Every structure is written in structure tokens, then in C-alpha cells.
């Protein structure tokens, strides 16, 4: 309803044919009033600027025919103010001064015409008709621009809301995906007495090393999310092997070594990049830089960087975490032990980068420390 009322009001302004004649010479006022009324216009007369303002306050006029020289406020000043205050009002200057300088000044400030006295009737009627036509076009153009701005504003707001919704949905999906991954990984890790905190530490060690190694933020985030699944293959390892507290026999080691390939088979073949990276990490995080690792004996940089990163993170966390069969080593001692295997078990450059990040490593280790076990 409000839109319809606005349209009707706007149409009334467009169709307005009322004219205010402002001239201090009464014969000129009356002549112009009679001429315009006889051609269907609604006309009001004012002798000076003060009276013109009073009439404009009472009702809107489509067109102002205004003399230039009048007692008190000049016609130029009046028109300049009116055009600034009432943009839907058009103006034509009517004067006895035939001056190109004055005419240009009037047009520059927004007047639609400049009529010199004495004037011909047809001259006035043509200028009035043209001024009202131009006023209508400018009002329609202004309304069109306002409508476009409203449309753009509305659609921009809708787009922003849609983007915000998508961002929230994407964030919720990402969090849900990460939580699912972590819970699956924890389910596998719990079978050999690991903890949820191990998953967190492993994840953040990998992300830290990937970032320090210069990988892209997107790749670092994928590695952080995928690395908790490095031991997912342990779900296929028999309990009597997986839960054995002492050293493995050669046969038992062969059984547990299969978890890398089992994890790869579980995770590979997906269209999702995240699962493909997780499959690579599961398959290669027990390879060694000198080629003595398993399951395939890859060597050097033939081992994907994701596997080389996970190897360092997993080994460090294993050394610094207490298990039923071993105590937790101090961080400094764990690093010393790993440095001894630089270039053998671990990628030397990545290990140097990891060791140089000891402050960040310490922070992660403390933030995700194992919680004391409590009986239920």
C-alpha cells in the first residue's frame, strides 16, 4: 500500500502543471498569468521573493517564472535557493537584461531558460513547455536512479546475507567434518592406549611444521585436518598384537606394519582432497628418509612431504608421551634423540625446521597435555 501511495504521489508531481510567476511589475505578472492560464496551466502570482517563498511553502509548483531584478532579494538568489531546496521545481528567468553573461550564469545555476523582455507569447509558451518536459524527464531519471540504488542496495544486502549464511554453513560443515575425523581417529588410537590429546598434538605439530616449511595456508589446513587419521589402519590390527606391552617379535611387527597399508586402503580413492591427503599420510608416515622404513621402503624426497612431516610429528609425540611400556621423555631429550637420526629416519631439513620451532612445540605440548586418568 505504501508503495502505491508513493507512486501516486510521484505521478502527481510529474503531472503538476502549476506555475508561479514572480515579477515586481504588475502588468508583466498579469500578462504572463493570463497567457499561461489560457493554455491550461494553473498560475499563481507573486510580486517579490518574500511573497514567492510564502506561496511555495503553501504548495509545490512545477515551474518558477522569475524576474532577475526585483526589490530586496534578487531573482537570481531566489532561484538559486529554491533549486537547492526544492529539486523538483524548474525555473526560467524572465528579464529585461539581454546579457549573454547573465544568461549563462542563470543556466549554470540550473535554470531551464532565459526569456528577454519584451517577449513573444509563443516564445514563452515554447520555453514553458520545454522546461516542464525537461523537468519531467529529470524527475523520472532521478526516480529511476533511486530505484536502481534501492535495488542494488537490496540485492547487496541479500548477497551479503547469503554469503554470511554460506560462511556459517561452511564453518559448521568444516567443524563437523573435523570432529568426525577426530572421533574416528580417536576410536583407532584408543585401541592402543593413545589419547584424544595425542590426536590434537599430532595435528598441530603437523600444521606447525607444514607452515614453517613454507606450504600454502590451504595445504597446511588440509594437513592439520588429515593428519589425525595417520593410524586409522590400526582398526585392522589384532588386539593381541596391538595391545602387547613389550617388544614385538618379527612376525608381530610384520602384522602391525600392515596398518599403514590398511589405512591407505580405507582412505584412498576418494574425490575429496582431504581424504586423499589423509591416505598419503597413513601410507607414508612410517617411511624413513634413508629408505629403511615401511611399508614400501621409500627414500628421500620420493616420500611425499606430508608423510615426512607426519613422521617427525608422530615420533616426537611418541617420545614425549607416557605409555604403559615407557615413560615420557623430556622435550629436550626427545629432540636430542631425534637429531641423532637426522638424515636417517627423518628429513634433515624438516627436522631442523621442527627443532628451530621449539617454543611453538612447547606451547602445543602444554596446551594439549594428557589429562590425568580417572576411574569411573
Q: Report, as residue numbers or ranges, the catalytic residues.
A: 234
State how far the alpha carbon of 138 is from the alpha carbons of 18, 87, 106, 111, 369, in Å: 17, 10, 18, 13, 72
Three-state SS for 8? helix
Distance CA 111, CA 53 (A): 17
DSSP state of 345: T
**Region of residue 216 (left: phi > 0; alpha: psi -120 to 50; beta: else):** beta
Q: Which of 307, 315, 302 is nearest to 342 (CA)?
A: 315
Residue pair 283/294 in contact by the 8 Å Cβ criterion: no
Residue pair 43/33 in contact by the 8 Å Cβ criterion: yes
Q: Which of 254, 197, 206, 255 is nearest to 230 (CA)?
A: 206
Residue pair 71/50 in contact by the 8 Å Cβ criterion: no
Q: Residue 318's Cα: distance from chain center in Å?
A: 41
DSSP state of 48: S
Helix axes 305-319, 273-284, angle to 10 degrees: 60
Distance CA 147, CA 208 (A): 52
- HSE at residue 271, side-chain half, CA atoms within 13 A, is 0
Distance CA 79, CA 368 (A): 76
Distance CA 139, CA 149 (A): 15
Amino acid at each position: 500500500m505504501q508503495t502505491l501511495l508513493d507512486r501516486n504521489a510521484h505521478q502527481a508531481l510529474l503531472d503538476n502543471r502549476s506555475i508561479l510567476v514572480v515579477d515586481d511589475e504588475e502588468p508583466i505578472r498579469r500578462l504572463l498569468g493570463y497567457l499561461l492560464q489560457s493554455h491550461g496551466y494553473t498560475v499563481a502570482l507573486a510580486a517579490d521573493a518574500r511573497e514567492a517563498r510564502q506561496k511555495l511553502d503553501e504548495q509545490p509548483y512545477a515551474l518558477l517564472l522569475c524576474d532577475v531584478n526585483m526589490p530586496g532579494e534578487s531573482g537570481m538568489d531566489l532561484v538559486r535557493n529554491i533549486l537547492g531546496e526544492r529539486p523538483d521545481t524548474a525555473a526560467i528567468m524572465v528579464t529585461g537584461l539581454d546579457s549573454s553573461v547573465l544568461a549563462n550564469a542563470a543556466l549554470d545555476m540550473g535554470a531551464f531558460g532565459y526569456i528577454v523582455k519584451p517577449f513573444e507569447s509563443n516564445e514563452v509558451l515554447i520555453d514553458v513547455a520545454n522546461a516542464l518536459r525537461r523537468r519531467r524527464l529529470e524527475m523520472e531519471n532521478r526516480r529511476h536512479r533511486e530505484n536502481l540504488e534501492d535495488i542494488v542496495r537490496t540485492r547487496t544486502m541479500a548477497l551479503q546475507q547469503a554469503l554470511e549464511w554460506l560462511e556459517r554453513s561452511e564453518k559448521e560443515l568444516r567443524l563437523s567434518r573435523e570432529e568426525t575425523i577426530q572421533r574416528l581417529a580417536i576410536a583407532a588410537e584408543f585401541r592402543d592406549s593413545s589419547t584424544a590429546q595425542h590426536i590434537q598434538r599430532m595435528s598441530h605439530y603437523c600444521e606447525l611444521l607444514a607452515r614453517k616449511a613454507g606450504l600454502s595456508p590451504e595445504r597446511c589446513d588440509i594437513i592439520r585436518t588429515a593428519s589425525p587419521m595417520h593410524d586409522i589402519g590400526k582398526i585392522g590390527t589384532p588386539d593381541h598384537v596391538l595391545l602387547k606391552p613389550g617388544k614385538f617379535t618379527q612376525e608381530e611387527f610384520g602384522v602391525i606394519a600392515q596398518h599403514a597399508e590398511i589405512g591407505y586402503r580405507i582412505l584412498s580413492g576418494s574425490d575429496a582432497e582431504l581424504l586423499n591427503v589423509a591416505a598419503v599420510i597413513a601410507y607414508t608416515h612410517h617411511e624413513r628418509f634413508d629408505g629403511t622404513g615401511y611399508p614400501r621402503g621409500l627414500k628421500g624426497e620420493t616420500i611425499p612431504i606430508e608423510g615426512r612431516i607426519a613422521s617427525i610429528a608422530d615420533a616426537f609425540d611418541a617420545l614425549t608421551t607416557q605409555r604403559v611400556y615407557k615413560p615420557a621423555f623430556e622435550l629436550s631429550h626427545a629432540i636430542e634423540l631425534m637429531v641423532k637420526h637426522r638424515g636417517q629416519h627423518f628429513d634433515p631439513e624438516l627436522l631442523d625446521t621442527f627443532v628451530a620451532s621449539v617454543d611453538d612445540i612447547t606451547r602445543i605440548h602444554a596446551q594439549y597435555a594428557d589429562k590425568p586418568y580417572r576411574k569411573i
